[in-house]
Chains A and B, each alone.
Chain A
């Protein structure tokens, strides 16, 4: 199963003198592929995550959304990425949103709950902050910016708003909630900005895959290119790096 354990070329890691272990935080799939993914990752220790609740729009009845979560969990997903009800957020019906996410939380059982705010559709930083707090109060283990399908995905001002909501929630309750920016992060440089943002706003405790994840499938190629550059002083080409 080489490749699941290390998404980075081993020769680059060797050149850098790195002797630790690097894996992805999780492999995220649609609900219908959870069984296949679980089978494929068997023994790797890498969790399977599943999007659910009518991803990406969430526009299906609540019963079906809850059923979808239960099915994915039953199929072996250890993490569930739900999308919040944007209608409730945009009309200020925060209590209804809270109740809905709470039911989703219950449907997850032991699985981790990541709530996708779809920040690109929430329009204002105030809405983003309120949605972040409502989701955390309803039991989210992670809050996540985007489905990757919105017109605007993860951007730093949104990230700061969400990180500060996490900090505020932690200060008040003692619960550490994770953060996942998703969509649009394609370069090592951008990833570094996000890391620095997390370090400054939340601290080193948040700089690991238990509390911080990138949802960015194409990022790994550029990370490898930059690691190559660091190891050799030469600029690297995409096609020398295995597809992520």
Chain B
């Protein structure tokens, strides 16, 4: 450590004599006034209740918590600790409001959102000063980022409210939304949550973070002033446990959370199987890739923006710096030179780079990570700059001599701490960038557009900034891969978190009798049928003496294979006649199938959409050739009439055609952000997906699920209906003759729930679609929380696969894609 930031008040004292100022040319203080905020706090007696139904509510006997300004430790006000009873009352208010708000025309909702935006603008300064005071962040940032984006979100989503009847015609609002937000961007997070929810016709109950409650309360007053109907927006302050209670409330329809991965996982578990939707914006360890072709001066400023914006308390902070080895030493020197000029001041000083850490606990956490880095032998460096002694301050910190295994590299620190590593070639940079459980954001620095775009493509993160970092806008989705959560906020993609398909009612599965997970997923290896069973029923017309026994196999990596288990179970007709014996697979078959799917993933994802469509059309063509055979099998297996079976086969062929059409028609769009450049939304594949099919319409449901998945570049492990698996197994011959590359579709048969558990537990699988029981849906959602894979479950609801909306609606595309937003700046012409 070559130096540390020491607080020397005498050095911090600005010059007051003009001659001294002229000689020293040092900055003077540039304070923003706190007067308006003080007046607002005084008007409330510096004591706040709960905002329910557009009114301040002050129930008796509640305790209060102090709100402290982290930069000065000034106590700003006291806010109420809501109780469970308060939550219950609020949910009723929100539900009542939902009944009218959800049926209010989009155009009316648009005007109300527009009114919110207008009124927020009228109180722009007040909001900005309060946010800076309460959070500790620089006023310049709260004004230019937080509050600006707050306003922008309400304008933007007013537009979607206006357009929802045409643009979101397939969808309906969810109901009452519980929203729990963090302390790092209190108003911005509030806007990201509330604006899209309201636009789509939902009502909300928002719980601000305990450390930063005040701006949400000011927002509440502005909302009432703007004419929002009572109960549409409710703000409850309270401890974390109240957030948990709110999310678990049976009359809440969706949970939206931004915060730590740990708490997000807990929430996911606590509402598993309930039929509530959930979106989670969680942690990150976002890489910043600096290539030797970068404008290094610009990249230095970019790194400053990436990791020291908001004191590094940003979920997408660029906390892992990866620099090409040829410029590594020079770049680190440049960075240190720049940090020598870094200004750390109290929130309301307008001449600043960084403010205070939010509270003592967070300060301790960050400091402990710095200590751990030292203990692990890393080199910690801090500039010799003056840091205020008044509150919770830290100087910017950079750590070198780190290893991929160092804790400061692996874990999210959520503070102004940057870890620096080097790489030699682009492929190494991508490997390091993707060597993380997170996948929220990244930035790429190079003047070589080919390289920058290659990197943007290679990095698995929800946002990639080219030659920029921490740029946000309402028109572009934000959200991550992997343990960074699921769902997107911003853009049209953000709307899907606040709607459900119009045909679907809120699932309210009965999960009162959930068995232990081991019992649910248990499977005893199948045995041969008892000797008294019926003779094997053949769908062929050949006499029994000519019959050649058919051995059904599973399909892994393009090969027809026997199961690792070497057990088979018997498939019978509804009348009990034996139709065949199919592999009763075990966890090793799933392991092999996942391996094959992962092996195939990259090349399938990157193969030309035209090629994908040709293969899928060819599959449909080959199904058509065997139309009668498929129908006959269906009819024998399920007992439906030949006419009905033919109809299901025809629908299946049509569905394969339908999704083949989408192989080259859902690539993404250019988002219309107010940024000089292009913001490109790319619909990437999710990756490898495990699909557990239902028993009804065994061919149609199978095709309806696999087709959109492979059309969008995913590779899959599919478990066909346990009861009626034969049509799915017939398909592998078709896949083999339709030029489908090995590993794109892997078929594993057996006890569905047994295999489902192996799939959900598998860390190397990005998503699981489970169409089975309510109990199974519970376990799938619960187990998936551990590795944060995306899930799509049926909650035991049976869908009509023959219905166009239920069997091939837009939601299939939504689940088959992972949205990435790439920000590409323009700027070479000087003016």
Contact = CB atoms under 8 A, between A and B. Distances in A.
A19 B19 CA distance: 7
A158 B830 contact: yes
Interface centre among B19, B22, B297, B341 (most CB of A within 10 A): B297
Contact of A18 (B22, B297, B828, B830): B22
Interface string B234-246: 0000000000000
Contacts of A237: none
Contact of B297 (A119, A126, A164): A164
Interface stretch (A33-41, A45-53, A199-207): A199-207
B830 A124 contact: yes
Contacts of A19: 19
A contact residues, range: 20 to 34
Contacts of B829: 123-125
A119 B830 contact: yes
Interface in A130-153: 152
B85 interface: no
Given A164-B297, A199-B25, A200-B341, A120 B19 contact: no
Interface residues of B, number: 13
Interface centre among B24, B341, B827, B831 (most CB of A within 10 A): B831
A223 interface: no
B803 interface: no
Interface in A1-27: 16-20
Label chain A's interface by main secondary structure: helix
A122 B828 CA distance: 11
Nearest to A160: B297
Contact of B19 (A17, A128, A157, A200): A17
A125 B25 CA distance: 29
A55 B297 CA distance: 33
Contacts of A123: 829-830
A120 B831 contact: yes
B18 interface: yes
B831 A18 contact: no
A29 interface: no
B17 interface: yes
Contacts of B828: 124-126
B140 to A, nearest CB: 13
A191 interface: no
A18 B18 contact: yes
A211 interface: no
A16 B297 contact: no
A168 B341 CA distance: 17
A167 B829 CA distance: 22
Contacts of A197: none
A125 B830 contact: yes
A188 interface: no
Interface in A179-220: 195, 199-200, 204, 207
Interface in B130-158: none
A200 B19 CA distance: 22
A62 interface: no
B25 A18 contact: no
A155 interface: yes
Interface in B793-831: 827-831
A157 B830 contact: yes
B831 A155 contact: yes
Contacts of B831: 120, 152, 155
A157 B15 CA distance: 30
Interface centre among B18, B22, B24 (most CB of A within 10 A): B18
13 contacts: A16-B18, A18-B18, A19-B19, A20-B19, A119-B830, A122-B830, A123-B829, A125-B828, A125-B829, A125-B830, A152-B831, A155-B831, A200-B341
Given A18-B19, A158-B830, A167-B297, 10 more contacts: A16-B18, A120-B830, A120-B831, A124-B829, A124-B830, A125-B829, A152-B830, A157-B830, A199-B25, A200-B341
Interface of A: 16-20, 119-120, 122-126, 128, 152, 155, 157-158, 161, 164, 167-168, 195, 199-200, 204, 207
Closest 10 CB pairs of A and B: A207-B25, A164-B297, A152-B831, A124-B828, A18-B18, A16-B18, A125-B830, A204-B25, A17-B18, A158-B830
